[in-house]
Structure 1
Amino acid sequence: MALYLRELAGVNPAEVGPNCRLEPDVKERTGSHSEHGQIKQEWSSWWDSLTTRDTSPQTPVQVPDNLLEWLEVNGYPELARLARPHYGQATLFAHQHAEDFERRSQDYIPDRMDEIEQLLIERGIEHAPVAEEKQINVIEVPLKEPRAWLTGGSTILASSALLRDSTAFQGFLQPMVTIIFPI
């Protein structure tokens, strides 16, 4: 939903968040852009909070019961104002993407996880109890281009297209593993 709202607000992906548009296209809203700077700032702050927090299995992502109210209460009033008339469509977009991911991911996620493990082995990362515990979080997002971004130290945002392409996936991930696990 966050990426949908970014596109809806007309915020340039090159300026905030992963620098790639969503797939499929989201029509930018019409109307005044006088609050564009505020929305860009609020969106960037919200996105950072979503992608840099601990997303380990022990601390699952908590989805607020009422996102609009949550945005207003937590300092994102322009985003809440933008989201209000488009909430149904944004929710539908998010649910459709989640369903698509659920349906297709079983065909490629196990292979990508094996490839990450192989990259870690090649990097010399030990799985011994004395090794410092670090975790890589991979967040799949429906972007037009097969790309990946490292955010928050060990969180990787990867486009759906990239996760489906083994060679490209390894090409993007190898340098990220080097950054996350320096020798």
Structure 2
Amino acid sequence: MHHTGGPGWRITMDTSAALMVALYLRDTASLAGAGNPALCATRPPARAADPHQLTAGVGGTASLRREWEDWWELLLRSHPTSHPELLPPQFQAFSGTPALQRLLQAHFGTAMSWTRERQSEYTLLAAGRETMGMTDILTQLVEDREMELGRNARDFTLTIIELPLTEPRAWFLEPDRLLMSSQLLEDQVNFRSYVQPVVELLV
């Protein structure tokens, strides 16, 4: 996790285990394009498993897609908490979404193992960035905008949620969040192209 800020403003960069689990399950079930925003595939890729037989008695893959999208929206709204709680093996909190419940029961263990590996990688990545000063660009973006406007930044918070995704890009969620590929910061020109317009909007 990285925090930076000044008088009245704060930017946080971190990852999210709950969102990673959800994305892994999305890709396992081949629900490409599901969710808003529709993020690209995970990296490394999830192990695909045909969900048709798993969900046949509870509405099939069409129901699974709807249920996953509702869950995804709820996770984004409730971040950084995870709601509803992921409590194996029955996942009782998902009894109202039976197709998603079956997907969780079948693949939660693999999803958690994959997520823990990604979390470990992110911890090392974040530590290396701090050592090299790569996150200083966040303060620089705010200060550049303040200089351009001739005033201090307005009070704002910006939460950047980094996820292991194949495409080095970001998705802005109004009013104050960015979903971002965890590899994007390594390309500071590309990073600036996504983050600078958001900072300019908030400052």
TM interval, shorter chain, is 0.7 to 0.9
Deviations 1:129-183 (A, max 9, x none): xx4x32111111000110111124211111121022222111111122234x17x
RMSD, matched Cα: 2.6
Partner of residue 25, structure 2: 5
The 8 Å contact of residues 137 and 155 in structure 1, kept in 2 or not, is answered as yes
Deviations 1:76-120 (A, max 9, x none): 322111111111100101100101101121122574542122212
Q: Structure 1 or 2: larger strand share?
A: 2
Aligned partners of 2:37 and 2:48: how far apart in 1? 17
Aligned partners of 1:166 and 1:70: how far apart in 2? 44
Residues 1:37 and 2:62 aligned together: yes
Cα–Cα, structure 1 residues 65 and 24, in superposed 2: closer, same or farther, change >3 Å? closer
Unmatched 5+ stretches in structure 1: 56-60
Q: Percent identity?
A: 26
Aligned partners of 1:54 and 1:6: how far apart in 2? 18
User: What letter matches 1:162 in structure 2?
Assistant: L
Cα–Cα, structure 1 residues 65 and 38, in superposed 2: closer, same or farther, change >3 Å? closer
The 8 Å contact of residues 109 and 163 in structure 1, kept in 2 or not, is answered as no
Unmatched 5+ stretches in structure 2: 1-20
Residues 1:151 and 2:176 aligned together: no
User: What letter matches 1:66 in structure 2?
Assistant: L
Residues 1:87 and 2:108 aligned together: yes
The 8 Å contact of residues 42 and 76 in structure 1, kept in 2 or not, is answered as yes
- Deviation of 1:12 after TM superposition, in Å, equals 1.3
Partner of residue 123, structure 1: 145
Aligned partners of 1:14 and 1:112: how far apart in 2? 32
Residues 1:164 and 2:190 aligned together: no
Aligned partners of 2:38 and 2:32: how far apart in 1? 10
- Deviation of 1:16 after TM superposition, in Å, equals 4.3
User: What letter matches 2:60 in structure 1?
Assistant: E
TM-score normalized by structure 2? Answer: 0.72
Aligned partners of 1:8 and 1:168: how far apart in 2? 29
- Aligned-partner SS, 1:156: strand
Cα–Cα, structure 1 residues 115 and 87, in superposed 2: closer, same or farther, change >3 Å? same
Cα–Cα, structure 1 residues 35 and 112, in superposed 2: closer, same or farther, change >3 Å? farther
Map 1:101-120 to 2 at 5 A: 101-108=122-129, 111-120=133-142
Cα–Cα, structure 1 residues 31 and 157, in superposed 2: closer, same or farther, change >3 Å? closer
**Which structure has more RCO (C-alpha within 8 Å, separation ≥ 6)?**
2
Cα–Cα, structure 1 residues 7 and 65, in superposed 2: closer, same or farther, change >3 Å? closer
Cα–Cα, structure 1 residues 54 and 27, in superposed 2: closer, same or farther, change >3 Å? closer
Cα–Cα, structure 1 residues 150 and 100, in superposed 2: closer, same or farther, change >3 Å? same
Cα–Cα, structure 1 residues 84 and 166, in superposed 2: closer, same or farther, change >3 Å? same
Aligned partners of 1:14 and 1:62: how far apart in 2? 19
The 8 Å contact of residues 148 and 172 in structure 1, kept in 2 or not, is answered as yes
- Aligned-partner SS, 1:52: helix
